[in-house]
């Protein structure tokens, strides 16, 4: 017992433990202590639990050979397996070969000390018997617990005081941000003078039922009429009272309902206010949401949150510059190729700094993008031309295939970059903590990480593309276009984009693992040679 307590205090653990005996409380208590000492309380990735006699020894061996994710140890808890009553020779032979990164904890009620497995655990690990305690020992243990609880409470108080001191600096930062945020909201609420388009604040709105009308799909819907009065907030007609009428249907497809207090943009000019309302002025709501986003990022992510905001701003500038250059005679694909490289550099370096893992993620992203675009070009060149009717909103254009090519390139960047970064960061951390790790072990760990990411990312792509199709499908169905016609003519482009990007996510896993492993291991070798 003392040896176990010493190991819990120093953090020097055996690769395998056996807790057994009649004292259930102590077994449970020390099981929790070992778990808390080995891994973080919130770490569910590096903790695996099995119970019962159906446990497969091969599965346990394979799992113990998997490297932990962003942690020093992987803890495998096995309860009441019966391996120590009926000896498990396979695990007994494996005990000396358990890697230092894995800890196996067996908790049993009864054991047979004659078994080969018990002898192996006793030789290479730690065996602790929790026998039923007598009255004196229990009394001593309870008193010790009380004293410990008092110490823990004092530590908690000290911790809270420390956190309060730290928070005071953050509180000042949040106070400054809150003040700026409030000023920005007030400014946007009163920024009508910046607009050339006339803006009116609605002071009176009267709504009445005007009858019924047929929708584009032939259904009956209620029709409403509004008498609106407002005051002009900008331009030469500032302060002028104006009256409008507005008609809208229940669905609000063509025109929307307005309310008293709304600020609206009119269809006139600086000198002439016009005769109708264009839309509601929504910049105040956007600023409020933007401020909330920045606040959440700062509170949860701290420095990383601020870097995220900066990189988003840089990417917006890059996108704007590329958009302005993409005129009628411009090479859209060439512009997008440059934009993709700038996006990747700005995002990865901005968030992760100049580091080997950053270059690995950047190189992986560019390689995978080149691969999927090559696959796309080969498939398209050997198949029938796609129907680009979904781009009819662009009018008469000569290069719909180039625009679609650019769409695929830009839409795939985010997902591929996410996978590449996750794998690069994880493998970099593993190599840093365990320089002696082999390529095989590194590849296996990266593969497990990639599998977890892959399913989620592909489904995210599906949701994004699906959401983009909803307005188009509704509009066309409202104009009496059959659903099967929509699928035949308009869905293929979206499916093509989804398939290409999904291929990119899958390819990003082995490519990122290979590039990151090579770069990290070569660096480690150079450092060793230099030393």
Q: Kindly write down the DSSP assignment for every residue of 260-271, as one continuous string.
A: TT-EEEESS-SS
Domain boundary among 132, 153, 181: 132
207 φ, ψ (degrees, to nearest 5): -115, 135
Do the Cβ atoms of 349 and 417 come closer than 8 Å? no
326 falls within a domain? yes
Residue 522 backbone class (left: φ over 0; alpha: ψ -120 to 50; beta: rest): alpha
Report the largest interatomic distance among the alpha carbons of the chain, rounded to a whole angstrom. 100
The angle formed by the CA atoms of residues 11, 15 and 17, to the nearest 5 degrees, is 90
Phi, psi of 271 (to 5 degrees): -95, -30
Residue that finishes a domain, picked among 258, 285, 312? 285
Residue 482 counted as domain residue: yes
Nearest to 141 by CA among 249, 23, 16: 23
78 and 105 share a domain? yes
Look up the pTM and report it: 0.53
Residues 328 and 449 in one domain: yes
Tokens 């072990």 sit on residue = 441
Which pLDDT does position 531 carry in this prediction?
A: 45
Q: Do 495 and 348 have their domain in common?
A: yes
Q: Is residue 158 part of a domain?
A: no
Residue 230 confidence (pLDDT): 92
Cα(370)–Cα(367) distance, integer angstroms: 5
Residue 124 burial by CB count (10 A; 0-12/13-18/19+): exposed, middle or buried?
Answer: middle
Please report whether residue 454 resides in a domain.
yes
What was the pLDDT predicted at 138? Answer: 55
- Domain membership of residue 490 (yes or no) is yes
**Cα dist from 516 to 188, 241, 264, 415, 429, whole Å:** 47, 67, 54, 18, 11
Q: For residue 14, is it within any domain? A: yes
Q: Are residues 278 and 309 in the same domain?
A: no
411 and 500 co-located in one domain = yes
Which of 79, 101, 132 terminates a domain? The answer is 132
Instruction: Centre a 10 Å sphere on the Cβ of residue 266 and count the other Cβ atoms it contains.
Output: 23
Which residues form the domain of 492? 302-530
**Does any domain span residue 147?**
no
Give the number of domains in the chain.
3
Write the CATH number for 10.
3.40.50.300
Residues 474 and 518 in one domain: yes
Q: Is residue 418 located within the same domain as residue 513?
A: yes
Same domain, 319 and 262: no
- Does residue 323 share a domain with residue 231? no
With a cut of 50, which residues of the chain have pLDDT below it? Answer: 165, 393, 395-396, 527, 530-531
* Angle at CA of residue 464, ends 291 and 397, nearest 5°: 100
Q: Are residues 498 and 353 in the same domain?
A: yes
Task: Give CA 35 to chain center in angstroms.
Answer: 28
139 within some domain:
no
DSSP class of residue 58 equals: H
In this structure, the answer to whether residues 336 and 272 fall within a common structural domain is no
Q: What separation in angstroms does the CA of 356 have from each of 349, 352, 418?
A: 11, 10, 16
Residue 418 CB coordination number (10 Å): 18
Q: Are residues 212 and 122 in the same domain?
A: no
Q: Which helix (H) or strand (E) holds 516?
A: helix 491-530
Helical axes 2-10 vs 24-38, angle rounded to 10°: 20
């Amino acid at each position: 017992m003392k040896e176990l307590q010493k190991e819990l205090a120093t953090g020097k653990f055996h690769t395998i433990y056996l807790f057994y005996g009649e004292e259930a409380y102590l077994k449970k208590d020390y099981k929790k202590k070992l778990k808390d000492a080995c891994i973080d309380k919130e770490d569910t990735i590096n903790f695996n639990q099995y119970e019962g006699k159906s446990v497969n020894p091969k599965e346990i061996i394979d799992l113990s050979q998997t490297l932990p994710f962003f942690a020093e140890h992987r803890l495998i808890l096995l309860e009441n397996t019966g391996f120590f009553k009926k000896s498990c020779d396979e695990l007994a032979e494996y005990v000396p070969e358990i890697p230092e990164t894995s800890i196996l904890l067996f908790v049993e009620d009864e054991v047979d000390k004659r078994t080969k497995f018990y002898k192996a655990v006793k030789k290479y690990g730690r065996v602790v018997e929790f026998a039923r305690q007598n009255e004196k020992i229990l009394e001593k243990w309870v008193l010790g617990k009380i004293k410990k609880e008092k110490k823990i409470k004092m530590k908690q108080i000290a911790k809270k005081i420390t956190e309060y001191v730290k928070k005071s600096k953050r509180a000042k930062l949040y106070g400054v941000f809150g003040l700026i945020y409030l000023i920005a909201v007030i400014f946007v609420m009163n920024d009508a003078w910046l607009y050339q388009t006339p803006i009116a604040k609605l002071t009176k709105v009267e709504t009445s039922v005007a009858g019924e009308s047929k929708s584009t799909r032939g259904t009956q819907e209620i029709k409403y009429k509004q008498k609106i009065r407002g005051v002009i907030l900008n331009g030469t007609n500032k302060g002028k009272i104006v009256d409008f009428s507005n008609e809208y249907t229940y669905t609000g497809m063509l025109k929307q309902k307005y309310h008293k207090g709304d600020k609206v943009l009119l269809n006139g000019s600086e000198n002439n206010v016009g005769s109708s309302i264009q839309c509601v002025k929504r910049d105040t709501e956007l600023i409020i949401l933007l401020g909330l986003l920045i606040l959440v990022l700062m509170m949860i992510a701290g420095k990383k949150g601020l870097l995220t905001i900066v990189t988003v701003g840089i990417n917006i500038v890059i996108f704007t510059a590329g958009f302005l250059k993409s005129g009628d005679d411009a090479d859209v694909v060439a512009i997008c190729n440059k934009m993709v490289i700038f996006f990747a550099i700005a995002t990865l370096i901005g968030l992760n700094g100049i580091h080997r893992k950053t270059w690995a993620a950047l190189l992986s992203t560019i390689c995978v993008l080149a691969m999927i675009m090559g696959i796309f070009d080969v498939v398209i060149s050997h198949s029938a031309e796609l129907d680009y009717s979904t781009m009819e909103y662009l009018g008469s254009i000569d290069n719909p295939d180039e625009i679609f090519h650019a769409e695929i390139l830009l839409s795939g960047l985010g997902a591929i970059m996410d996978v590449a970064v996750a794998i690069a960061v994880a493998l970099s951390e593993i190599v840093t903590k365990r320089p002696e790790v082999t390529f095989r072990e590194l590849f296996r760990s990266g593969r497990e990480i990639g599998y977890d990411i892959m399913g989620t990312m592909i489904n995210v792509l599906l949701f994004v593309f699906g959401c983009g199709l909803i307005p188009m499908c509704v509009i066309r169905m409202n104009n009496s276009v059959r659903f099967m016609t929509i699928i035949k003519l308009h869905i293929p482009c979206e499916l093509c984009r989804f398939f290409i990007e999904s291929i990119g996510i899958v390819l990003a896993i082995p490519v990122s693992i290979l590039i990151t492993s090579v770069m990290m291991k070569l660096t480690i070798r150079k450092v060793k040679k230099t030393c």
